[in-house]
Amino acid sequence: MRYHTLGRAFLALAASALFSLTGHADPGVTASSIHLGMSSPFSGPNGEYGITMRGGVEAAFSEVNAGGGINGRKLKLTALDDGYETERSVANTKQLIEQEKVFALLAFYGSSPTTAAMKVFSEAKVPLVGTISGAGTLRDPVNPYMFNLRASYADETAAIVDHLVGIGISNIAVFYQDDGFGKSGLDGVTRTLEKHGLKASAVAPIERNATDASAAVKTISAANPQAVVMVTLLKPTAAFVKAMRAAGHQPQFVTLSPIGADLLVKEMGAENARGIGITQVMPYPWNDALKLVRDYKAALAKTDAKAEPSYYGLEGYVAGRVMIEAIRRIDGEPTREKLVAALEQAPFDLKGFKVSFTPSNHSGSTFVELTILDRNGRILR
């Protein structure tokens, strides 16, 4: 009888200890796991962007899980497809927080979708680390739960316009996507041109997820520009460049990092993509001199031997690594407020890319690099 009593007492103590591990943690945290959520396009015209980025996140999580996780807790990812549609992104965010009970969010995609989703995760006080967007709506004013890993569109467009003007080009047109992404980029081009005493010679929009660029080609061709800044994604960019060249126009085409240089080459073919300039907001993902890149490539090879390194994949990996390092900084049981404080504590040095947040600045990086595609589809710096 005495042994039965001791046994019951031991079980009670064990249950109490387990509750102390999990009872005071936020949703998504158990004694053995931390559940994180992602919403990006995995289907439709922009599906490859999300798929590639998810691969980078999974590589980072698999890497840490193979080593036992974070304080014995393995990382779990639930990734939902939003098709780059704003309403679906909002619905996914609600599902991840309310039904999936994730601890935090990472690696979202798109200016308009993330801006709309921000209202949901902010009200729930759930942090989001990293989104494929440089829009000002995600940066100003500073949202306590939105942490941007990449440079802004203002940073990217300033680099483009300053470079073009610096080499003597003044007749510059803009082809932009008619949504938060495109309008933010258009504003950035306009402001930088004004600093040089210039204005766009022609401006033409295209609807999000549309691929018929004929109207834009007609408008921009009339200005006979020396260069066209394209604030558009994969399909419309490819269609526009092909149509402009078919119409006999050969301006310098330049686009922003969300295009995905490797995906553009795949879409257009190396010869047709030749000469297109692209800004990048992540380090060159084939630069083995950087430890970050070596780590990324090694982790990617272990999760998917057929996957090729890419800027989008590296950005997903960076988002995963920053989330991992922030959780590791948490003292005691993980909570969302502790995660926010950990993100704002000190810079993250990933040995090839640095990210730094403060309570008054959640723009983690201003890194921008200009690249160009050669005749073989290679990205030259």
Q: For residues 62 and 69, give the distance between their C-alpha atoms in angstroms, rounded to a whole number.
A: 9
- What fold characterizes domain 153-280? Rossmann fold (3.40.50)
Intervals of CATH 3.40.50.2300 along the chain: 11-151+288-355, 153-280
Would you call the peptide bond into 236 cis, given omega within 30 degrees of 0 as the criterion? no
Q: Which residues of 126-152 are buried (b: 16+ CB within 10 A; e: fewer)?
A: bbbbbbbbbbbbbbeeebebbbbbbbb
Tokens of 88: 């679906």
CA Rg, the chain, in Å? 23
Q: Are 237 and 228 in contact (CB under 8 A)?
A: no
pLDDT at 208: 86
343 secondary structure, DSSP code = H
AA identity, residue 21: L
Q: For residues 135 and 179, give the distance between their C-alpha atoms in angstroms, rounded to a whole number.
A: 11
pLDDT at 339: 98
pLDDT by residue for the chain (381 residues), tens only, comes to 444 444 444 443 444 344 444 446 799 999 999 999 999 999 998 999 999 999 999 999 999 999 999 999 999 999 999 999 999 999 999 999 999 999 999 999 999 999 999 999 999 999 999 999 999 999 999 999 999 999 999 999 999 999 999 999 999 999 999 998 999 999 999 999 999 999 999 999 999 889 999 999 999 999 999 999 999 999 999 999 999 999 999 999 999 999 988 889 999 999 999 999 999 999 999 999 999 999 999 999 999 999 999 999 999 999 999 999 999 999 999 999 999 999 999 999 999 999 999 999 999 999 999 999 999 999 998
Q: Are 123 and 133 in contact (CB under 8 A)?
A: no
Q: Could you tell me the pTM of the whole model? A: 0.88
Q: What is the pLDDT of residues 147-188, one digit of tens each?
A: 999 999 999 999 999 999 999 999 999 999 999 899 999 999
Distance between alpha carbon 337 and the CA centroid of its chain, in Å? 23
Q: 3.50.50.60, 3.40.50.300, 3.40.50.2300, 1.10.1760.20: which CATH number matches 11-151+288-355?
A: 3.40.50.2300
pLDDT at 24: 64
Contacts of 169 (CB under 8 A, 6+ apart): 226, 227, 252
